[in-house]
Amino acid sequence: MSHTVVTTTTTTTTSTSDGGILNLGYARSLQGLLKIAQVIVLLIAFLCVHCEPLWTDYSAYRYFEVVTLWFLIAFLIFFLMYIFRLQKKIPCINWTLTEFLHYAVGAVLILIASIVAAVKSSSISALVAGSVFGFIATFLLAISIWMSYKITCGSQPTSAAV
């Protein structure tokens, strides 16, 4: 009796590349659209306060400008990093955790800046508009925190041994 063993190996490769170094699918994803909205809202908030010549409290509005501009640049860098797939070239950094921490710190600082700007606005419409856009940015950051938390710290499936 002779037995023959035949072994077959099947290899399946999937490609997530949409041709080239750009990941344009990220810009159409929920995270990408949310990041675009954050950058636009922070830019509008910054410009509303920066272009108003009738400031009532210079230190409060300088703080608002610095915070909104800092996180605008940070979120723009994160967006460009995902568009150009740079997070895969630097794997030693946990990018989802880094983004989560940026969202958390940004939400707190922008909320504080928006509250201070709203209190010190003295009914100047551009300053009120800047603080309103700051509150909108805080809301968008809260959504990002929630989504990033689900990815970073969400419940992991457990397997019970029977």
Is 34 contained in some domain?
Answer: yes
pLDDT bucket at 53, cuts 50 / 70 / 90:
confident
Q: What are the tens digits of pLDDT across the range 146-161?
A: 988 777 676 655 555 5
pTM over 0.75: yes
Within a domain: 104 = yes
14 in a structural domain: no
Residue 1 domain-assigned (yes or no): no
Total number of domains constituting the chain: 1
Three-state secondary structure string covering the chain:
CCCCCCCCCCCCCCCCCCCCCCCHHHHHCHHHHHHHHHHHHHHHHHHHHHCCCCCCCHHHHHHHHHHHHHHHHHHHHHHHHHHCCHHHCCCCCCHHHHHHHHHHHHHHHHHHHHHHHHHCCCCCHHHHHHHHHHHHHHHHHHHHHHHHHHHHCCCCCCCCCC
pLDDT band at 13 (very low <50, low <70, confident <90, very high): very low
Q: Does residue 37 lie in a domain region? A: yes
Binned at pLDDT 50, 70 and 90, residue 39 comes out as: very high
Asked if the structure places residue 16 within a domain, the reply is: no
Residue at 56 is within a domain: yes
pLDDT digits (tens, 9 = 90+) for 120-146: 888 889 999 999 999 999 999 999 999
